[in-house]
Structure 1
Amino acid sequence: MKFLQYVPDLYSVEKVIADGEPDCGNGLYLSHLPGNRTPTHLKADVSVESALRAIADPSEPLRGHGIVTNDHMDTDGVLTIWTLLNPTLAPEWSRQLIDAAQVSDFQEWTTPAALQIDLTVRAVDDPERSPLATDLTQLSEAEQGQRITEYLLDRLPELLRDPHPFWDLWSEAYAEAVQEMNWALGGGVEVTEYPHAHLSVLTTDRVLEDLTRNSVARGQRILEIERTPDGYRYDLGYRNFLFYDTVTRFATPRHMLTAAADRLNELEPDTSSGHWAVADWYPALWFASEDDEEAGFSQLHPDTVSPLVLEELERLDWLTAGGR
């Protein structure tokens, strides 16, 4: 089996689609992306785990496939490809592979090494930091994906054994992540939990990274409130894993919070510059600038916003559960 970066010419070719979107054409899908066509018995929370199941499956679902492809660059995708190309070696590293994929896609802390592996992959794909930067400038997007993936595949055994030889690629971002995590867990973030609504309210003086947000919050819905001199920045989002087609995790419903936005807009003072808006993914509810291009600053106090959001989530959960 060999890796080829996905291009439209591969659509009709029989292949294995590793962590790919559902529109990559013919083949065996091993992906957790929404709408995936992964066989039910191979489905898993992250794509690399589906690959591990596939290489261990006695029915040999990979037999006859000479190509593995992927249509985007991320850690789970690279690890999935490597697993399929190294079916003898990969099971030995199954825990490390899954941990790194979860850090990457779910933005959840698993182990220090897993985060270091993910940050290394991200750095190689970063035009400003990649050791391949000069080589990539004259290549097409697909050629860049092929080159970056091949570079990482060649180095993954060493990276899985010990990320420290790749220190220059991950150390700065890792230090920043650990510093913010320690600050947040040390009291930098005020956390209020509403377990029955799976809601966490985080109040802070700075915008949080997803990894920090998901580490300090217990809920699957997270209302982040940033205090600023100009007012409050609000956004309500979901844990990252809720975007994916997972198997083992309980998933709360995702709601359109239109009624909450309408009510908050009614309460918002005329002096505010912006408006409350909604989306079907992230942010599910936020106070946006007038042009919707960035966050605005609300003049409503959290004591008004948080109970209203909680009440609307409870109402929509009740309706979803069949309430009348």
Structure 2
Amino acid sequence: MSYQFVPFARLRQQPTIVVDSTANGAALVLAHWRGAPTPAALRDDTSAGSVLRALHQPGTPGLQAPAVTANHFDVDGFVGVWSLLHPALALRHEALLRLTARLGDFREADGPAALADHALQLVCWLNAEEKGRFYPPFGAPRLRRREDEACVEKFEWFLPRFADLLQNPERGRAAWEPEYERVQRAMTVMRSSATRLTRYPEIGLVVVRTPEPLPYYALFGPTTGADIVLSIYDGQRYELEYKYTTWVDLESRPTLPRLPLNGLAAELNAREAAPQRWTFDGITDTGPLLRLAGHTLRKEERYADPDQRPIFASSIPENELEQAVVQFFRRGYAALQPRRYWTWAEIRAASQPGSVG
């Protein structure tokens, strides 16, 4: 079967497979978005993973559609679209592509060292070329363009070039090396005695104590299996973040639902003597942050690495802050049990008094 990439706006002009998105009228949806109508047999942690599963099941209804599209550009979605266009090569490199998609979406690369290193090079190449030639993730509104329209140019540039980098990453070294080296330095810090991790598996929380803010690919690297990260930096600087793992439907493991952070923010603001206030993002944001804010961050700033945004000093001692976070989630999750495939309605209801998991 030979596929053609088409802009999202043209998906109804012919039978079309939709990747890492969802849309009425799609011949087949291959997406890990919460509630997406991906066939049960093809569900996977990443959308690219669902595509790769589909390639192993060529009789899947809808897979014979001649076109493929997505409504945005990111690593996972791109890898999924590219894999449909190059099925033989994709299946030959399936393990690498799965790691690349996971690193792109969840900032985790839990796999063999050589493959994880190759995946990091690919992701850094995609990131560098995307920012240098086009616009950063979530940056389309600043160009006064819709993402589903603006991203077409990215797909058209990357699709014919990715196979070359997949098979020989050295050809893209000039682009990927700066970010790759920055992440490697940060990974060294994460592995050193300067960093300490405390895990609270019953609430899905990892507390990372490390001297300075780091790139996500290093910071989240050792947090596989957790869904909330509290970063504690020197000078009483803190950020709490829900990982993207609880925005999507994970297939590999159950999760707890996100809890609204307004109550925790109010508790911290009551203790806070710094001039900034604790602010929080809504639970339907892709990666909600709780942090001391000097100004409201744009979506692209929140998506960018922690070392690329200001993180202010709090007056709250770090052990007190950690305990406040832990107790908030322990209270909120006391009557809930982890499970798969929460709906957004169920997630909202879970935070209400009397909710039962």
Structure-2-length-normalised TM-score:
0.77
Structure label with greater radius of gyration: 1
Q: Which amino acid aligns with 1:98?
A: R
Tell me the alpha carbon deviations over residues 136-193 of structure 1, each in whole angstroms, 9 at most, x when there is no partner: x9x9976763443233222333222221111111011101100111022112323223
Identify if the C-alpha distance between structure 1 residues 308 and 70 changes in structure 2 by more than 3 Å, giving closer, same or farther: same
Name 1:196's counterpart in structure 2.
202
Tell me the alpha carbon deviations over residues 228-251 of structure 1, each in whole angstroms, 9 at most, x when there is no partner: 3xxx32221123322222201332
Name 2:6's counterpart in structure 1.
4
Displacement, 1:129?
A: 8.4
Contact 1:275 1:296 in 2 (8 A): no
Name 1:89's counterpart in structure 2.
89
- Alignment partners' CA distance in 1, 2:63 and 2:146: 31
Displacement, 1:194?
A: 2.7
1:256 aligned onto 2:256: no
- Alignment partners' CA distance in 1, 2:210 and 2:86: 45
Identify if the C-alpha distance between structure 1 residues 147 and 287 changes in structure 2 by more than 3 Å, giving closer, same or farther: closer
| Count of matched residue pairs | 309
Name 1:76's counterpart in structure 2.
76
Name 1:300's counterpart in structure 2.
316
Displacement, 1:284?
A: 4.7
Contact 2:134 2:154 in 1 (8 A): no
Name 1:275's counterpart in structure 2.
277
Identify if the C-alpha distance between structure 1 residues 46 and 212 changes in structure 2 by more than 3 Å, giving closer, same or farther: same
1:16 aligned onto 2:17: yes
SS in 2 for 1:32: coil
Where structure 1 has 5 or more consecutive residues not aligned to the other structure, the ranges are 131-136
Q: Higher mean Cα deviation, 309-318 or 48-57?
A: 48-57
Contact 1:13 1:27 in 2 (8 A): no
SS in 1 for 2:239: strand
Q: Which amino acid aligns with 2:261?
A: L
Identify if the C-alpha distance between structure 1 residues 143 and 258 changes in structure 2 by more than 3 Å, giving closer, same or farther: closer
Indicate the percent of aligned positions where both proteins have the same amino acid. Answer: 26
Name 1:41's counterpart in structure 2.
41
- Alignment partners' CA distance in 2, 1:86 and 1:292: 42
Tell me the alpha carbon deviations over residues 270-302 of structure 1, each in whole angstroms, 9 at most, x when there is no partner: xx212223332544532233x544754321111
Tell me the alpha carbon deviations over residues 53-83 of structure 1, each in whole angstroms, 9 at most, x when there is no partner: 2222253434541111111112222221122
- Alignment partners' CA distance in 2, 1:311 and 1:266: 16
Q: Higher mean Cα deviation, 106-115 or 234-243?
A: 234-243
Q: Higher mean Cα deviation, 63-72 or 166-175?
A: 63-72
1:220 aligned onto 2:211: no
List structure 1 segments (4+ residues) > 6 angstroms apart after TM superposition. Answer: 139-143
SS in 1 for 2:291: strand
Displacement, 1:265?
A: 2.0
SS in 2 for 1:125: helix
- Alignment partners' CA distance in 2, 1:253 and 1:217: 18
Displacement, 1:200?
A: 1.9
Contact 1:13 1:26 in 2 (8 A): no
SS in 2 for 1:89: helix
SS in 1 for 2:249: coil
Q: Higher mean Cα deviation, 62-71 or 113-122?
A: 62-71
Identify if the C-alpha distance between structure 1 residues 62 and 88 changes in structure 2 by more than 3 Å, giving closer, same or farther: farther
Tell me the alpha carbon deviations over residues 216-237 of structure 1, each in whole angstroms, 9 at most, x when there is no partner: 4464321112233xxx322211
Contact 2:32 2:250 in 1 (8 A): yes
1:123 aligned onto 2:124: no
Q: Higher mean Cα deviation, 307-316 or 276-285?
A: 276-285
- Alignment partners' CA distance in 1, 2:265 and 2:151: 41
- Alignment partners' CA distance in 1, 2:49 and 2:184: 27
- Alignment partners' CA distance in 1, 2:156 and 2:32: 22
For 1:138-157, what aligned pairs fall within 5 Å after superposition?
145-157=151-163
Q: Which amino acid aligns with 1:220?
A: D
SS in 2 for 1:102: helix
Q: Which amino acid aligns with 2:216?
A: D
Displacement, 1:307?
A: 1.1
